[in-house]
Amino acid sequence: MSLEGMSDDDVRALASLAKSLGDSPKTRLGLMQLTKALDPSVSIPELDTLGTVANVKRQMDERFSDLEQKNQYKELEERLYAGRRKAVSAGHVKDSEIDDLEKFMLENGMADHEKAAQHFSNARKLAEPAPQAQAKYEMPRDHLALFKQKGMTGLNEMIRNNAVQDLRDLRMGKSSIS
């Protein structure tokens, strides 16, 4: 932009506007940026320093963020190992079962290794079938002989006779129901 052909009053008005824009803290930076955008070769130390400081600040923020993230990861890892040690030392799981325990924790939305180990141990105990003693019933020989002689009719008759005898014994006090 050329000032040729402009009146002295116009030139003074432009100069006054530029001075007021440069003196105001709100517009000073914008005026310097516009000047630098118009002619990048112009040296404006204040603007160049701001760019350098902003770049250094950004790098420091990235470093701080990386360190903070590493620190958080380390803390989480320590908590994880401490939880594993607690679960094993409590006796609910063995070292070899830690992976299964953590899978159980994920499936059930649990965060505490020790409590999860208790539930895991209880769940395994419930899942294991209890040994059951099966009573062998051997038909008494006289029943078997009666069955061979008279079939089911003979067995039914014998059962009825036994029931009658048991009722008599109860009425007479010879036996009791216990």
Terminal-to-terminal C-alpha distance of the chain: 119
Domain span at 34: 11-42
* CA-to-CA dists, residue 51 to 33, 55, 63, 104, 169, angstroms: 11, 6, 18, 53, 111
**Domain membership flag for residue 136:** no
Same domain, 81 and 123: yes
pTM of the full predicted structure? 0.40
**Domain membership flag for residue 3:** no
Q: In a structure prediction context, what are the per-residue pLDDT tens digits for the chain, which is 178 residues long? A: 677 888 889 889 988 988 998 888 899 888 888 888 888 888 888 877 877 888 899 999 999 999 999 999 999 899 888 988 888 888 888 888 888 888 988 888 888 888 888 888 888 877 666 666 666 767 677 777 877 888 888 888 888 988 999 899 888 888 777 6
What total number of domains does the chain contain?
A: 3
- Element (DSSP H or E) covering residue 122: helix 113-127
Instruction: Give the Cα separation of 77 and 88 in Å (integer).
Output: 17
Same domain, 121 and 163: no
**Domain membership flag for residue 152:** yes
**Domain membership flag for residue 103:** yes
**Domain membership flag for residue 58:** no
Same domain, 123 and 80: yes
**Domain membership flag for residue 150:** yes
**Domain membership flag for residue 1:** no
User: If you search the block for the tokens 């099966």, which residue do you land on?
Assistant: 134
**Domain membership flag for residue 84:** yes
